Amino acid sequence: MTTEECLSGKRLWKIASEIRDRLVRMQTARYGDVQREVGNLLQNQEELASVHRRLRVCLSRGWLGAATRMAEQIQRLFRELLYSSQDAERAGVRPEVQPPNVRDVLEELLQAEEEFEHLRYDPEDGVLAVTTDPIELEGMYLGDFEIRLRIEALGDSQHGTPYRVVALDPQPSARNDAVTHPHVSEDRLCAGDAAAAVDAALASGRICDFLLLVRSVLTTYNSESAYVRLEDWAGAACSDCGATIGGDDTYYCTSCDAEFCSECTSSCARCDETTCLGCLSSCPVCGDSVCPACMDRCPECREPLCCHCREERQCPCQQEPSDEENQDEPDANTSPNESNETPDAAGPAGTSEQTVHPAAQTP
């Protein structure tokens, strides 16, 4: 909030008039939504009729390939017709809300001023605001909040939610700095089951009821719809070492789906997913640390190894012996005592002729 004004007299009446004008625009926009959705429905019907005519031509001329493409377009258009008819139906069945008169809105503003002691207005931003008392949920102090309604955003879908819930004494969660309340993230309220009632109060101009409903959501805790649960507000405990962690220091193991600190996690050497040290395994072949999803078994010996080593056939049982190992092994057909050398056929030991001494020859 920047420049604030006290709300009384003509100023309060002017704000009530502006709110009423915005609510009338909201009602007009509702009918515009109906017109737009019905237009989309009619456009899809026209396109379906056109494709149907082209399919009839394809069949009459025997163009089966083109007929197949036409049939595929018809299936797509049937799906779009279903969605557009549902959107048109939802737009048409929204409850009709009669815009209030200026005096009714003025009474709502006066009542809100009594409920919250002080109603403030910022003319520069067109924001109407009230402040809650300090909020404490289940022993957790969260501080006070300011509920800010931007009047010009009423009935304008481009602005999104027309109100914000801002922590004046922020006590954010250690898990996420943007969460200042279990049901408030980045100044946006998750109203849960009260969302329909909150929207209905705004649409009908019941400003005080709207502010009271938002305050009720802020003073109520629902663990099922919380951005961060109160038991985890100060941070969670590391599932391995037990250290308190929160925010950017929290890591989720993709294998066991538990939370760990940075010291108790690493990444898989294959898929690069964050994995706790307890879920990582060392491949006995390459030695890399891999997650359970990237561990495999050798198809032959069934020994564990990583998927990369399995694909590359790196298991020792699949390795062929080297050339040196083949040379060192003896030939299976050769006797260990058999010499590799073959005696010379003309040698002394192997001659077949006898040498006669000259003295022994007979004349």
Scored b (16 or more CB within 10 A) or e, 316-340 reads: eeeeeeeeeeeeeeeeeeeeeeeee
* More confident position, 45 or 324: 45
| Mean predicted lDDT score pLDDT of the chain | 81
Residue 352: pLDDT over 50: no
Q: For 110-132, how does the pLDDT look when each residue is reduced to its tens digit (9 = 90+)?
A: 999 889 978 899 888 889 999 99
One-letter-per-residue 3-state SS of the chain: CCCCEECCHHHHHHHHHHHHHHHHHHHHHHHHHHHHHHHHHHHHHHHHHHHHHHHHHHHHHCCHHHHHHHHHHHHHHHHHHHHHHHHHHHHHCCCCCCCCCHHHHHHHHHHHHHHCCCCEEECCCCEEEEECCCEEECCEEEECEEEEEEHHHCCCHHHCCCEEEEECCCCCCCCCCCEEECCEECCEECCHHHHHHHHHHHHCCCHHHHHHHHHHHHCCCCHHHCCCCHHHCCCEECCCCCCEECHHHCEECCCCCCEECHHHEEECCCCCCEEECCCCEECCCCCCEECHHHEEECCCCCCEEEHHHHHCCCCHHHCCCCHHHHHHCCCCCCCCCCCCCCCCCCCCCCCCCCCCCHHHCCC
The closest of 271, 355, 360, 309 to 279, measured between CA atoms, is 271
- The tokens of 249 are what? 């220091």
Give this prediction's pTM: 0.56
Q: CA of 53: how far to CAs of 42, 60, 71, 74, 191, in Å?
A: 17, 11, 11, 11, 50
- In the β-sheet with 145-150, what is the strand arrangement from edge to edge? 5-6, 120-122, 127-131, 145-150, 163-167
Q: For 246-261, how does the pLDDT look when each residue is reduced to its tens digit (9 = 90+)?
A: 666 778 898 888 888 8
Q: Spell out the residues 6+ positions from residue 19 whose beta carbon is closer than 8 angstroms to its own.
A: 105, 151, 154, 205, 207
User: Which has the minimum average pLDDT: 25-34, 194-203, 353-362?
Assistant: 353-362
Residue 219: pLDDT over 80: yes
Q: For 45-99, how does the pLDDT look when each residue is reduced to its tens digit (9 = 90+)?
A: 888 899 899 999 989 988 888 888 888 888 888 888 888 887 777 655 555 567 7
- Name the residue type at position 320: E
The closest of 147, 149, 100 to 125, measured between CA atoms, is 149
- CA 117, distance to chain mean position in Å, is 42
Confidence class for position 324, pLDDT limits 50, 70, 90: low
Residue 353: pLDDT over 50: no
Measured between alpha carbons, how far is 144 from 132 in angstroms, rounded to an integer?
6
Q: CA of 257: how far to CAs of 125, 252, 261, 269, 274, in Å?
A: 45, 6, 13, 19, 10
Residue-level pLDDT at 100: 83
Interstrand relation of 145-150 and 127-131 (parallel, antiparallel or unpaired)? antiparallel
- The tokens of 337 are what? 């005592």
Residue entry with tokens 């993709």: 254
Residue-level pLDDT at 85: 81
Mean pLDDT to the nearest integer, 294-314: 91
Measured between alpha carbons, how far is 156 from 154 in angstroms, rounded to an integer?
6
